[in-house]
Structure 1
Amino acid sequence: MAVKNGETNGLSERAYTFIIQTGADIPTKHSTSKWSDGTMILTINPGSKTAESKPLKVHKNFPSMTEGAVTVDFWLPPNIGVPKLIKVDLESNKFELIKDALYVREITILYNRDPYRFPIKNFVYPHNPIRGNPTVAEMGCPPHFLVREGAGTLKHHETEDFIIKAREEDLEIIHSMVQWNDIEENPTDLLFPGFVGILEYDKLPRFLQFREAKLDAFNELRSAGLKEIRANVLDNLMNKILLRYKEERFESFEHYEMFLKLKSDEMGWSKEMIEETLKVAKIFRQDEEFGRQMLCGPNAMYIKKVTALDARWSGGTVPEHSLEGKSLSEVIAEGHLFEVNFDELIGVGHGGSLSKKLTGTKQIWYVVLADCLLYVRNDGKLVPVQIRLENRNDGEAPTWWGPPSPDISDLNRPVHLGWLYAKMWFRSADVNVYSLCTHFARAHAVNEVFAMACYRNLPNAHPIFRMLQPHIQGIIPVNVQARGVLINPGRNAISLFLSAGDNLSHLFNNYYKKFNYEDLILPLDVEKRGVGDIPEYLYRDDTLSHWNIISKYVSEMVHLSYLSDEDVVLDTEMQNAVKDAVDMGYRGFEDGAGFPRAISTREKLTEYLTAMVVNISVFHTAVNFQTFTSYAYPPNVPTCMAIPPPSQETEITMKLILECLPVMEITFIAMNVSYNLGQFSPVERFYLGHPAENRLGMLGENMAVSPEQEACIRRMEDRMRVFQAEVDTRNEGRYLKYDVLSPRNTPLTTQT
């Protein structure tokens, strides 16, 4: 039958079914409360002169704590047609004084039996109906949402004015709520990337805060640890007053193991994590284990090939027996000599300013420069062959340490204990650089620059924002909390257990003087460090596997939206994001730390986005989620050293080693912090999800919702499953598994 006068098959109105998905947390939360603080108001195609619907009021109670959905139907005139844009607003009850925002995940409209999906993933706050819709954000929420349907679009591909204006309004609202820190208020010559200009977590916009389940879990862990620390401090203070104080030191390495088990029972820590740590404790003295941790530990990206020894090595001699009868020149020519240097510690003073408050005794925690040469033996094992220590802060000359002859089998001989002690000093430098440079400076602060640039320049309607949203969420709030507690120079929790904790700014500055965009391009980084052939370098293998899989996925997503390189050039929103990251994120860095100020090809855009996603998810996972296993047992990695480093003539005894290692109070703090940081969030999403555990994968969180985009995600997940099987096979029978980068263990974003 012919269609006349706007009628469709004789119908004067058409049915529109709205499926409204709300709720910020995963199912099975103990609370199932409903949001009932007002009315949701929906408008289809707002601003269109011919296809705008009337405001549709939804008087329902919406799931708020747990994820759920509400379905409602409306009859609308046929001129509305296909829903291309919706406006989502909340109106509070007229006399409601106490109200809350509502997290809206997605709205799907069924029209003509076809689904039209509008991903949102944001909070909206109900406005007062007497005052009308506010023009400024309330309670850290946008006043309303204007959401484009489907895959998202590039701005220059849009042809309808009402959609372009809505896109610009959406971006302007978010841009006004996400501002960079004002560098003029706190001028400094020390390098540090830009960050959000909000100092307190509670003052962040709601969409930049954690979901409640994550925050609740973090606070529970944190409060339990703080309660124990406060009890220790008060007990020490009382005993000092009563003249009964006695510093609690460990009597043996086994005593550390017993203490770890005791605290795990008291604190309810995971026995599986404790077991892995105790496995390390059994073998940490072995040179092969030392080498394994250089390749597979949390700080595995510092090792590089030696092509020529620089001046720092001129004062020492590598023991002949450690190179299996070869000369240094032969080993270098073979490409089997490597080194690790921690020059980031140059100029960083000793710590321990808060040691008396915690332990009852004033201590100096020594910051010592440390370098290590490592050799790949004929059996493929990487082992240390020389360690250089320099207490430059106190003007001491370097000392040189090497492995004892295999003829000396007694591990309690001074020569063995001296080598063990040197390795401990090196690992102490390692954990200080790891904690502040690798973990926070690289895996947190750099990621915040990416998140800030995306939120400020890419509207909800942008397809790349929708692809990136699962990755950039969580970064800003965890960094705000860290700047408030962990790395705040005024109340710096890091200084409670790290030797370098009193001098954060200088350490960050040293790191960022060398930091460059190319560090994030992992295949290039492996090539530059010359480490492509080291056997059993599992960090390298697994990060490159992730890189290849994610790069292919990103390339597919880029090619869906950008039909040519010209589209990349014409995408002013993406170009603004790239430029904002350099101009505001790397202000003061030489040449913007090498980051591009513009991108002109799909290939380079794919590289840039891959570097972003991999650093946010994969790199952070590699350095964060095995912290407890490596660092919770102080003889393996001492976070601070309480007596000066030895001279070359010092006779090393077990008594000397135990006096240098952290006491009980400091040991507990290091254990507690590393345990808290290594926990997955209750709302964490992973590359490969576990539906039975509510650890859902990318499709559970993504804003890329078109069938073509979801097909890209599924292909990526298929590749991840193949990779997962390879990791599982490789780990069979291993004493210590390396599965931190298994796709089912790799979260999508930086949340801890």
Structure 2
Amino acid sequence: MPSYAVTVTTGSQFVQGTNNYIYITLVGTEGCSERTLLDKALYNDFKSGAVDSYDVMVEEDLGEILLVKIETKKYWVHDDWYCSYITVMTPSGDYLEFPCFRWLVDDKEVVLRDGRAHLPQDDQTSLVKQHRQNELDNRRKAYRWKEWQPGFPMSIDADGHKDLPRDIQFDSEKEVDFVLNYSKAMKDLYVNQFMHRFQSSWSDFADFERILEKKKTSISEYVMQHWKEDLMFGYQILNGCNPVMIQKCIKLPDKFPVTHEMVSVSLERELTLEQEIEAGNIYIVDYELLEGISPNSTDPSALQYLAPTICLLYKNTQNKILPIAIQLGQTPGADQPIFLPTDGQYDWLLAKIWVRSADFQYHQTITHLLRTHLMSEVFGVAMYRQLPAVHPVYKLLNSHVRFTMAINTSAREKLICEHGLFDKANASGGGGHVQMIQKAMKSLTFRSLCFPDMIRARGVDNKEELPTYFYRDDGYRVWEATKSFVSDVVHIYYTSDETVQEDVEIQAFIKDVCSFGMQDLDHCEFPKFLKSREELIEYLTVIVFTASAQHAAVNFGQYDWYSWIPNAPSTMRRPPPKKKGLANVNLIMESLPDCGRSSWHLGAVWALSQYQEGELYLGMYPDEHFIEKPVKAALETFRKQLAEISSSIKKRNDGKKLPYYNMSPDQIPNSVAI
């Protein structure tokens, strides 16, 4: 009697084993095996990390094995089981791999294809076509779109983490959940000791050091020592947590009437301001989005304020970026002075603090939350709804949406919801952050997610003009390496542009992102149909880059740059000054966050900056969804390119007091998971 040697590998984490009964059925072109219980007498099968082998007996050869069906039945109490993969050795000696990497929950079955990737037009038999369709039908029932707030990108339909499909929940909530990390931060940093002085102001700048005593980084300490300096202000516009705002100034906007006489003392080339603009030496950051946003009013006893600031920047003869003029609103007038470096030291310092606070609000809500977290979720939900596990693009993207829906759902449940941490700590809380995203969605386009386009659109793509813009330089290299890898994979499976056009699943994925995820907003210009391999390569590169490099660049430096609270106030408690000569140390202390909100802020930026145990970095794909040798060769090339980039960044950073490593591949996790 012929037999098939079946090997079953269980996930290695402690919770991934099971005591359930496990059954298997092999489905071939010539017939099916009987439903077979996988059980060894006096042996505890399917423990975490176990590799269990069995013989499946058949009456006749089954022909080519097309599908493997796995089922679970509870033994005593049902416990979920995570199956990594199954291998089958046929009677003729053929070795087949069936990647699984999913949970078997309750008494539901999972049906697997072998590990080779297949486009929908490649499938010829009705059996595999039906399997493909059944998988997508089930996925669309489990992964449903939902609008969390009007005007937002769509998200997954889940009120809490436990409502998510088991396959996309955290492996262990204790390791990844933000709120638990935050609570640990509050304890480890001993910031709770300041909560009894909740609404009290700090006494002076040195007083802020008390909440940094327990944990400093080399960068946070450097920021603390140099935050008042104009050079530090300009440097972090380029390479801080929010390096996406600086634009070349082609013409001064009418709303910002800076004159040559105002700034002439700051100009070093004996040129007029107009000539400096023409020479490409003037830049601008404009937080216009904050105009009209309601400041946090959740605590009537503690007024909070926002300001849509504008800042003019100058590239001096040493190629350093310096602030030379600041306006704290969008409408010029007598009550809207333009602050200058030549003003009193506290007037100028307070103006810079207002810009830093505006930058913090924009960074957290738009650069970080909207443009990495929420956009990655859109791509992830559409992927699960439209691409079966056998599709090569599913295999490519799966690692880059890992835990994204879990962290976002937890955030909606505990962080950005009503009475969440945003409401507690930030001036844009209490609904202001919702207004900001609704407003930002009106200008978010697909091209703005393409890294090279985003850099060019701001006029900052010339390395000679801005030689210390490390975010741009490292980002270009990671983008190109990622695009090269994606291109290799696409060309393995798509032999022509027509192959892309004929792939009904990839086209459904593209359309789902635009028509549902982005709610078919005309201005967003997300494609609804891809015509070529080049378009597909760029589209997939955007997804991978956004989830990995872009998120890393704007997330993991938060403790470095934001733990010194005067450098990044999460809220301001006094209105922006309407005239010069009013600022002093007392006004600044009364404007900066109070003790309680400082503590909340510090706990949050510490928690957000933490890498997880077992983090998977760019180029690491331990779940081998691909089994084909050409893809493995492409992945090896990708890893080598990433290693070279990491090495060169390390070499550049050696000896620097302010090293930039947020775009170093060895510190870029695969997905948005924190």
Match of residue 21 from structure 2? 39
Match of residue 13 from structure 1? 2
Match of residue 458 from structure 1? 387
Match of residue 165 from structure 1? 130
Secondary structure in 2 matching 1:726: helix
Q: 1:53 aligns with which of 33, 53, 66?
A: 33
Query: Deviation of residue 220 (structure 1)?
Result: 3.6
Query: CA–CA distance in 2 between the matches of 1:368 and 1:213?
Result: 37
Query: CA–CA distance in 2 between the matches of 1:738 and 1:234?
Result: 32
Q: 1:532 aligns with which of 441, 461, 465?
A: 461
Aligned pairs, number: 664
- The change in CA–CA distance for 1:231 and 1:431 in structure 2 (over 3 A counts) is closer
Query: CA–CA distance in 2 between the matches of 1:209 and 1:175?
Result: 17
Contact 2:29 2:66 (8 Å CA) reproduced: no
Query: CA–CA distance in 2 between the matches of 1:517 and 1:62?
Result: 49
Indicate whether 1:221 and 2:173 are aligned.
no
Give CA-to-partner distance per residue, 1:484-536, whole Å, 9 cap, x none: 12211x32320211111122221111111111000111111111111012211
Q: 1:296-695 to 2 correspondence within 5 Å? A: 296-314=239-257, 318-324=262-268, 325-354=270-299, 362-390=301-329, 397-404=335-342, 415-488=344-417, 490-502=418-430, 503-533=432-462, 534-587=466-519, 589-591=521-523, 593-687=524-618
Amino acid at match of 1:680: Y
Query: Deviation of residue 113 (structure 1)?
Result: 4.8
Contact 2:195 2:599 (8 Å CA) reproduced: no
Match of residue 106 from structure 1? 85
- The change in CA–CA distance for 1:285 and 1:565 in structure 2 (over 3 A counts) is same
Secondary structure in 2 matching 1:373: strand
Matched residues, percent identical?
26
Q: 1:208 aligns with which of 162, 168, 172?
A: 168
Query: Deviation of residue 719 (structure 1)?
Result: 0.7
Query: Deviation of residue 78 (structure 1)?
Result: 5.7
- The change in CA–CA distance for 1:742 and 1:282 in structure 2 (over 3 A counts) is same
Match of residue 708 from structure 1? 630
Indicate whether 1:191 and 2:151 are aligned.
yes
Query: CA–CA distance in 1 between the matches of 2:658 and 2:195?
Result: 38
Contact 2:19 2:79 (8 Å CA) reproduced: yes
Contact 2:290 2:436 (8 Å CA) reproduced: yes
Give CA-to-partner distance per residue, 1:594-652, whole Å, 9 cap, x none: 10001011110001000111011111111111111111111111111111212223332
Query: CA–CA distance in 2 between the matches of 1:305 and 1:334?
Result: 11
Give CA-to-partner distance per residue, 1:699-742, whole Å, 9 cap, x none: x1342222222111111001111111111111011001111221
Amino acid at match of 1:323: L
Query: Deviation of residue 147 (structure 1)?
Result: 1.5
Give CA-to-partner distance per residue, 1:201-224, whole Å, 9 cap, x none: 111111121111665664542333
Q: Which runs of 5+ in 2 are unaligned?
A: none
Query: CA–CA distance in 2 between the matches of 1:389 and 1:34?
Result: 54
Amino acid at match of 1:466: K
- The change in CA–CA distance for 1:206 and 1:395 in structure 2 (over 3 A counts) is farther
- The change in CA–CA distance for 1:114 and 1:341 in structure 2 (over 3 A counts) is farther
Q: 2:201 aligns with which of 249, 265, 273?
A: 249
Secondary structure in 2 matching 1:501: coil
- The change in CA–CA distance for 1:219 and 1:82 in structure 2 (over 3 A counts) is farther
Amino acid at match of 1:365: Q
Secondary structure in 2 matching 1:398: coil
Secondary structure in 1 matching 2:112: strand
Higher RCO by CA contacts (8 Å cutoff, separation 6 or greater): 2
Q: Tell me the TM-score normalized by structure 1.
A: 0.84
Query: CA–CA distance in 2 between the matches of 1:537 and 1:234?
Result: 38
Q: Which runs of 5+ in 1 are unaligned?
A: 1-11, 26-31, 128-142, 237-244, 265-270, 357-361, 405-413, 689-696
Q: 1:179 aligns with which of 121, 125, 144?
A: 144
Query: CA–CA distance in 2 between the matches of 1:41 and 1:418?
Result: 74
Match of residue 92 from structure 1? 74
Query: Deviation of residue 103 (structure 1)?
Result: 1.2
- The change in CA–CA distance for 1:712 and 1:659 in structure 2 (over 3 A counts) is same
Contact 1:214 1:683 (8 Å CA) reproduced: no
Query: CA–CA distance in 2 between the matches of 1:510 and 1:396?
Result: 28
Contact 1:229 1:665 (8 Å CA) reproduced: no
Query: CA–CA distance in 1 between the matches of 2:378 and 2:355?
Result: 31
- Mean CA deviation greater in 642-651 or 310-319: 310-319
Query: CA–CA distance in 1 between the matches of 2:238 and 2:375?
Result: 23
Contact 1:303 1:340 (8 Å CA) reproduced: yes
Indicate whether 1:122 and 2:110 are aligned.
no
- The change in CA–CA distance for 1:24 and 1:619 in structure 2 (over 3 A counts) is farther
Query: CA–CA distance in 2 between the matches of 1:55 and 1:559?
Result: 39
Query: Deviation of residue 681 (structure 1)?
Result: 2.1
Query: Deviation of residue 169 (structure 1)?
Result: 1.1
Query: CA–CA distance in 2 between the matches of 1:304 and 1:310?
Result: 13
Indicate whether 1:148 and 2:113 are aligned.
yes
Contact 1:519 1:525 (8 Å CA) reproduced: yes
Match of residue 241 from structure 1? none
Contact 1:33 1:63 (8 Å CA) reproduced: no
Give CA-to-partner distance per residue, 1:380-436, whole Å, 9 cap, x none: 1111111111287x99832211213xxxxxxxxx71222111110000000011111
Secondary structure in 2 matching 1:84: strand
- Mean CA deviation greater in 446-455 or 640-649: 640-649
- The change in CA–CA distance for 1:82 and 1:370 in structure 2 (over 3 A counts) is same
Query: CA–CA distance in 2 between the matches of 1:427 and 1:110?
Result: 62
Query: Deviation of residue 56 (structure 1)?
Result: 2.7
- The change in CA–CA distance for 1:330 and 1:703 in structure 2 (over 3 A counts) is same
Query: Deviation of residue 229 (structure 1)?
Result: 12
Query: CA–CA distance in 1 between the matches of 2:340 and 2:94?
Result: 71
Amino acid at match of 2:5: T
Query: CA–CA distance in 2 between the matches of 1:637 and 1:462?
Result: 44
Q: 1:731-750 to 2 correspondence within 5 Å? A: 731-750=653-672
Secondary structure in 2 matching 1:299: coil
Query: Deviation of residue 63 (structure 1)?
Result: 5.3
Secondary structure in 2 matching 1:682: coil
Match of residue 267 from structure 1? none
Contact 1:390 1:397 (8 Å CA) reproduced: no
Contact 1:374 1:382 (8 Å CA) reproduced: yes
Contact 2:337 2:580 (8 Å CA) reproduced: no
Match of residue 281 from structure 1? 224
Q: Tell me the TM-score normalized by structure 2.
A: 0.93
Query: CA–CA distance in 2 between the matches of 1:675 and 1:123?
Result: 32
Over aligned residues, Cα RMSD in angstroms?
2.5
Amino acid at match of 2:11: G
Amino acid at match of 2:144: Q
Secondary structure in 1 matching 2:243: coil
Query: CA–CA distance in 2 between the matches of 1:233 and 1:161?
Result: 67
- The change in CA–CA distance for 1:283 and 1:649 in structure 2 (over 3 A counts) is closer
Q: 1:295 aligns with which of 229, 232, 238?
A: 238
Secondary structure in 1 matching 2:32: coil
- The change in CA–CA distance for 1:247 and 1:466 in structure 2 (over 3 A counts) is closer
